[in-house]
Amino acid sequence: MPARIRIYGHEAVFAGGHWTCPDDSLQAMLEGLADPRALTPQAEQEHATYCAGRFGGLIFTELGWETAPHPEAEIKLEDFAPQRKPERESSGGGGLFGFMRRRKA
């Protein structure tokens, strides 16, 4: 059974690794995310859920139309940002005006 989603008021169907939709711009956005390896009904449903969640849409399930969950971020800031060093509380060296504080002798 093909997976059906609804995004921006348009319905799209994912089957056989390809999207079909009457709206050309939505179909182009979905084809950019299309997974040609999703050939089983379960894989089609998972991929359709991912796409619907990515664009804030709905997915058709046995219970009717449901809001698709937003997918986990693929890239996180922690992957690239250096780890912060804890500031020394006793020295008072941190903060915006730390250079103006009197140092202990």
Q: How far apart are CA 2 and CA 77, in angstroms?
A: 36
The answer, as to whether pTM is greater than 0.75, is no
Per-residue pLDDT band for 104 (boundaries 50, 70, 90) equals: confident
Half-sphere exposure of 74 (CA within 13 A, CB side): 2
pLDDT (0 to 100) of residue 52: 94
Q: How far apart are CA 62 and CA 2, in angstroms?
A: 13
The one-letter code for the residue type at 66 is E
> How many CB atoms neighbour CB 23 within 10 A?
15
Q: Once rounded to an integer, what is the mean pLDDT over residues 82-97?
A: 63
Q: Once rounded to an integer, what is the mean pLDDT over residues 41-57?
A: 93
pLDDT (0 to 100) of residue 75: 82
Residue 10 bridge partners (DSSP): 7
